[in-house]
Structure 1
Amino acid sequence: MNKVSLYFENGLFLEAKSFGSDGTSVGECVFNTSMTGYQEIATDPSYAGQFVTFTMPEIGNVGCNAQDMESTKAHCKGVIVRSYQDRPSSFRCEETLAALLKKHGVLGITDIDTRYITKILRDEGAMMMVASTEIHDKEELKKVLENSPRIEEINYIEQVSTKEPYVHNQARYDILQFDYAKPNTSKKIIALDFGIKRNILNELTHAGMEVTVVPNSMPSSEIIAKFEAKEIDGVFLSNGPGDPLILKDEQEKIRDMIAAKVPMFGICLGHQLLSISHGYDTYKLQFGQHGGNHPVKNLQTGSVEITAQNHNYNVPDNITEVAEITHINLFDNTIEGVKYKDAPIMSVQHHPEASPGPHESAYVFQEFADMLG
């Protein structure tokens, strides 16, 4: 393993070992409390621009495989782990985590005190950092970081969104059959790709929707024309990376669809963009919510769901002026889901497709299908 040096914007300088790609990379450092799912996390486009510090100390134990990819590649800037295991043991393993990271130019950092880093991020908040296998001088790394744009200044969805439309034609993975179920669809929707996860698409088709995934650049006029011609029944707004406040084109596009009364469902970034498009700006959480063990209460049924989370931004409390709150996070009472009062629009902040429960939050996909009529 090569040496890798880390410099954080609070002045912290650390040295560790590298097991991924070589090079120099700048991004925002966050921590994730999931016990499993490191491959899904690394390949989630919502982590574009971020280094993910895992609180689970042993990472790499079961390797990686094609079925657990949430997208076509690893999108994060790097992963930071206490102990990396390069000899995975699993009958599903097709390659090591190191091989996956190297293939996609992502740094892997190990032999470092992740508990220490997590406590700093918890107390001081998510922060920018630079990691390098090439530069090991603290002052030089500091200059690289100071001269690099911050994550909130970069439109990462232009990098992660699909370039061409495509139809998704598989449903939920059947672990007993080791294959994907065949979809039985009766509704047609467009999914605006801001960094969509494959398992979200699986759940949409599982709920009976034929999904055409389109680039984030698709004009709202074209989407509205398809809706008015009854070629589609609604629109899904996907998850994605970065600060939603800088996505002005996407906000305007959603406003057009709100005015045209297009039924919509948003997850994570889609949830945030719906709030902003209704006139309620998001705010940044101190260190965000990243993990697979967050309790969320459904205020309509009273049930508590164990959810997966991955966001740094949240919608404001005064959104109740236009929407009914349907879900809250029991860790900090932040808003996790809403239904808009005068429109066929719903959204959730958590990831109901990520299956930590394992399927106790998946009903929201069926609620969207039912909303389409």
Structure 2
Amino acid sequence: MKKAYIYFENGTFLEALSFGADGTSVGEVVFNTSMSGYQEIITDPSYAGQFITFTMPEIGIVGTNSKDNEREIPHCKGIIVRKYQDFPSNFRSQEKLSDFLCKHQIMGICDIDTRGVTAMLRDQGAMMAIISTEFSEIEELKARLAKSPRIEEINYIQKVSITDEKAHSKGTFCFAKMDFQTPPTHKTVVAIDFGAKDNILNELVQAGLHVILKPHNFDAQEIISLYQDKKIHGVFLSNGPGDPMVLQDEVKQIQKLIAAKIPIFGICLGHQLLSIAHGYPTEKLKFGHHGGNHPVKNLANGKVEITAQNHNYSVTDAILEIADVTHRNLFDNTIEGVRYKNAPIFSVQYHPEASPGPTDSKELFRQFAQML
């Protein structure tokens, strides 16, 4: 392994070993508390522009395989781990994690005190950093980091969204058959791709919906016409990376869908964009929620759901003027779900499709299908 060097914007400098792609990369560092599913996390488009620090100390043991990708091409900047295991032990493994990262030009560094990095991010907040296998001098790294744009200044949606419309027909993965199911569909929805995870689309299909995926720069009037002609029955707004306040063009199109009274379901970034489209800006969390073990209380039935999460921004309590809060985060009491009072619209901040993570909240996909 080559030596690698990481410099954080707060002045922290660490030496490490590289098991991923060579080079120099700048991004925002966050931490993820999931105990498993590193491949699904790495290939989640919502991590575009970010370095993922895994709190799970052992990474690499199950290798990688093509069926566990959330998107074909990963968009994160890299991963930071305590110990990398280069000898996969899993019957589904097709490729070592190191080879997977190198193939996609993603950095991977190990021999880092990830507990220390996590505590630093918890106390000081998510921060920008530069990782390099080329430069080792602190002043050089500091200068390059200072010249690089911050994550909130980059529109990553343009990088992760599809460019042409396409249909999605496969359902969820069936381990008994080692393949994806294709259940019958009854209603049609348009899913707007801001960086949608494949398993979100799989769960929509599994709930009995035919999914037409459209790019982020969609034409709301086209969708409204399809809805009025009863060719589609609702709209889904996907997850995605970055600051939702950057997406003003997309917000204007969503406002047209809202005005047309089209049934809408939003997850993560889609949840945030619905709030903004209603006139209620989001706020950035100190270090975000990233992991597969976040407790969320369902206020409708009083049950606690363990959820998978990946977001840096949150809808504020100001939304209570026009929506009922349906879910609250039990770590910090932030809003995790809302149902709008005078429209067939609901949304959640967390990931009910898991991948990785628990499946406590999969019922939401069936609720959307029933609403349609």
TM-score by length of 1: 0.98
Relative to structure 2, which stretch is displaced further, 348-357 or 232-241?
A: 348-357
Q: Secondary structure at the match of 2:204?
A: helix
Q: Secondary structure at the match of 1:294?
A: strand
How far residue 355 of structure 1 moved from its aligned partner, in angstroms, is: 5.6
Rounded to whole Å, the distance in 2 between the matches of 1:9 and 1:222 is 45
What amino acid is aligned across from residue 364 of structure 1 in structure 2? L
Write the mapping of 1:2-81 to structure 2, written as runs, cut at 5 A.
2-81=2-81
Rounded to whole Å, the distance in 1 between the matches of 2:288 and 2:15 is 25
How far residue 356 of structure 1 moved from its aligned partner, in angstroms, is: 6.2
Match of 1:265 in 2: 265
How far residue 357 of structure 1 moved from its aligned partner, in angstroms, is: 6.4
What amino acid is aligned across from residue 83 of structure 2 in structure 1? S
How far residue 359 of structure 1 moved from its aligned partner, in angstroms, is: 2.5
Distance 1:76 1:348, change over 3 A: same
Q: Secondary structure at the match of 2:225?
A: helix
Unaligned runs of 5+ in 2: none
Query: CA RMSD for the aligned pairs?
Result: 0.9
Write the mapping of 1:39-188 to structure 2, written as runs, cut at 5 A.
39-188=39-188
Match of 1:275 in 2: 275
Rounded to whole Å, the distance in 1 between the matches of 2:325 and 2:111 is 43
Rounded to whole Å, the distance in 1 between the matches of 2:360 and 2:6 is 39
Rounded to whole Å, the distance in 2 between the matches of 1:348 and 1:340 is 12
What amino acid is aligned across from residue 302 of structure 1 in structure 2? G
Rounded to whole Å, the distance in 2 between the matches of 1:14 and 1:356 is 29
Q: Secondary structure at the match of 1:190?
A: strand
The answer as to whether partners of 1:8 and 1:129 remain within 8 angstroms in 2 is: yes
The answer as to whether partners of 2:171 and 2:183 remain within 8 angstroms in 1 is: yes
The answer as to whether partners of 1:307 and 1:356 remain within 8 angstroms in 2 is: no
Rounded to whole Å, the distance in 1 between the matches of 2:353 and 2:202 is 8
What amino acid is aligned across from residue 39 of structure 2 in structure 1? Q
1:272-313 deviation digits (Å, cap 9, x = unpaired): 000011011000110000000001111111111110010000
What amino acid is aligned across from residue 296 of structure 1 in structure 2? V
Match of 2:306 in 1: 306
1:51-73 deviation digits (Å, cap 9, x = unpaired): 00000000000000011000011
Q: What is the count of residue pairs matched by the alignment? A: 372
Match of 1:320 in 2: 320
Rounded to whole Å, the distance in 2 between the matches of 1:265 and 1:307 is 18
What amino acid is aligned across from residue 7 of structure 1 in structure 2? Y
Structure 1 stretches of 4+ moved >4 Å:
none
Task: Report the identity percentage.
Answer: 63
How far residue 177 of structure 1 moved from its aligned partner, in angstroms, is: 1.9
The answer as to whether partners of 2:40 and 2:355 remain within 8 angstroms in 1 is: no
The answer as to whether partners of 1:263 and 1:343 remain within 8 angstroms in 2 is: yes
1:86-121 deviation digits (Å, cap 9, x = unpaired): 101000000011111111110001011111100100
TM-score by length of 2: 0.99
What amino acid is aligned across from residue 298 of structure 2 in structure 1? N
The answer as to 2:245 corresponding to 1:245 is yes
How far residue 365 of structure 1 moved from its aligned partner, in angstroms, is: 0.5
What amino acid is aligned across from residue 316 of structure 2 in structure 1? P
Relative to structure 2, which stretch is displaced further, 217-226 or 354-363?
A: 354-363
Match of 1:207 in 2: 207
Q: Secondary structure at the match of 1:213?
A: strand
Q: Secondary structure at the match of 2:320?
A: helix
How far residue 183 of structure 1 moved from its aligned partner, in angstroms, is: 2.0
Rounded to whole Å, the distance in 2 between the matches of 1:238 and 1:264 is 11
The answer as to whether partners of 1:326 and 1:337 remain within 8 angstroms in 2 is: yes
Rounded to whole Å, the distance in 1 between the matches of 2:325 and 2:12 is 40
Rounded to whole Å, the distance in 2 between the matches of 1:169 and 1:194 is 19
